[in-house]
Amino acid sequence: MSKQHLVAVIGAGPAGLYGARKLAEAGHRVVLLNRDIKPGGLAEYGIFPDKEKMKTGLRKQFKRILADPKVFYLGHVSVGQDKALSLRDLQAIGLSAIVVTAGAQGTKKLGLNGEDSIGVYHAKDVVYHFNTLPPFSLQQYEIGRRVAIIGMGNVMVDVANWLLNHRKIDQVVVVARRGPIEKAYDDGEFDVIEPYLDNADMRREIERISPQLTAVGQNVEEIIQKFVKQGEPAEGRRLQFRYLCSPIRVIANDQGRVAALEVEENLMVLQDGKTVAKGTGKLSAIEVDCVIYAIGDQVDPSLGLPFSRGAFVTNPEKLSGDPNPAAYQPYDPETKQVLGGIYVAGWSRNASVGLVGVAKQDAERGMKVVNQYLASKEGFTAGEMEAKIEAIIDMLQKKGASVVTKEDVELLEGAEQEEARKRHTWDFKFPSDEKLLEVIDARKAAR
């Protein structure tokens, strides 16, 4: 009887799903274990809600991957220390390999004084909130009328888009350590918030920092031409930038709510051909009601892999092969050993780096490494694999977990689409896990 491999893939975002497809194409069976009830990760709960074409296109691809009988989906299952299932539990069941594609679920802090004030948030939590991911969907965010966003990438643009176009607040101030040229957002993404740009303020801001721009060889006139547009901010809602500023402290009022963000002005210097910010010691305060960190994320150490400086540690060796297999192997720096049979890919390997296409490519390259590893191993019979999947389900049931299958996800999606049609919108999501599970149960009972 021919033998196959059984691989656990932890996380059904783009990396996990495209990775599962590669493994299934190589003839292996996959158990996808996903924290969220629905698959998709940030493609479902990160990409801006009105990007209908992109989101529906990705959902279709994910649906096709899940339709493969070799892919077994278990949603609403968190893996990690103190979770329903740990990496150790999975190792004890004895699978052929374990692939961690759980994204970057940890949050980075700046360690500012006053960071615990009411009204200080991480962009990822806010993004999950406006993309209706339980439990973030029902949490209260004390936004107020004026918000400082720290960071200048595409996530900043998405958060500003939600604040200005949907929450319709009065003012967004983007705080950036360096200057306009060092922006990390794409111009195409910026279009949605450009109507709110306070052009008079932008001109003043570029003029204020012009000596520093000139000092590093940047052309002030060209920068003004590129960044200062025509016209007044739309509907009186203003988008402003504070360049060459590093956050120093969150100032709270006597109710513990954000009242201002204190920043230190920076100089820019050239180091190895790159611009670097250097503090001047000169402080000023930006009066705001809320501060949102859009500075990228880190992986979640509670998953149980060796962790250092926001990332899972991978094998530092340069091994032969393309890709370098070591780059996908978690590594214990104390024992100087790789964690045999465990792999990482996507944002779990490279936190907050790149679009869906990058996570897909990384997972596909990673699975090439996993497939090579599996080629040297003895597989399992169909019966042995069934028993191992049963053992996972048993373990989850003993811990009282309400596990969701891909058939359940389909029932849920059907109910959400019906609801969307009733509301004349292209998309609708139920906001809590309790409701999602209730809808699945109701649909099952009605069959």
Q: Any contact of residue 305 with ligand FAD (CB under 6 A)?
A: no
Least distance from ligand FAD to the Cβ atom of residue 312, Å: 12
Least distance from ligand FAD to the Cβ atom of residue 298, Å: 12
Stretch 75-94: interaction string toward ligand FAD, x if CB under 6 A:
---xxx--------------
Q: Any contact of residue 330 with ligand FAD (CB under 6 A)?
A: no
Residue 73, Cβ neighbours under 10 Å: how many?
Answer: 24
Which of 7, 8, 12, 197 touches ligand FAD by CB under 6 A?
12
Q: Any contact of residue 101 with ligand FAD (CB under 6 A)?
A: yes
Task: Output 239 or 244, the one with its CB closest to ligand FAD.
Answer: 239
Size of the site for ligand FAD (CB under 6 A): 35
Q: How far out from the chain centre does Cα 104 lie?
A: 6
Q: Any contact of residue 355 with ligand FAD (CB under 6 A)?
A: yes
Q: Angle 379-381-384 (CA atoms, 0-180°, nearest 5)?
A: 100
Measured between alpha carbons, how far is 135 from 364 in angstroms, rounded to an integer? Answer: 31
Q: How far out from the chain centre does Cα 289 lie?
A: 25
Least distance from ligand FAD to the Cβ atom of residue 302, Å: 7
- 8 A C-beta contact, residue 80 and residue 303: yes
Task: Output 48 or 233, the one with its CB closest to ligand FAD.
Answer: 48
The rounded radius of gyration (Å) of the Cα atoms in the chain is 24
Task: Output 211 or 357, the one with its CB closest to ligand FAD.
Answer: 357
Least distance from ligand FAD to the Cβ atom of residue 399, Å: 14
Residue 363 — φ and ψ, nearest 5°? Answer: -65, -40
Residues 168-207 that bind ligand FAD (CB under 6 A): none
Question: At 186, is the secondary structure helix, strand, or coil?
Answer: coil
Select from 9-17, 87-95, 177-185, 417-425 the region that touches ligand FAD (CB under 6 A).
9-17
What secondary structure, in 3-state letters, does 8-54 show? EEECCCHHHHHHHHHHHHCCCEEEEEECCCCCCCHHHHCCCCCCHHH
Picking from 410, 395, 337, 406, the residue whose alpha carbon sits closest to that of residue 20 is 406
Q: Any contact of residue 9 with ligand FAD (CB under 6 A)?
A: no
**Chain residues that interact with ligand FAD, rule: CB under 6 A:** 10-16, 33-36, 41-43, 46-47, 51, 78-80, 101-103, 105, 127, 155, 158, 303, 346-347, 354-356, 358-359
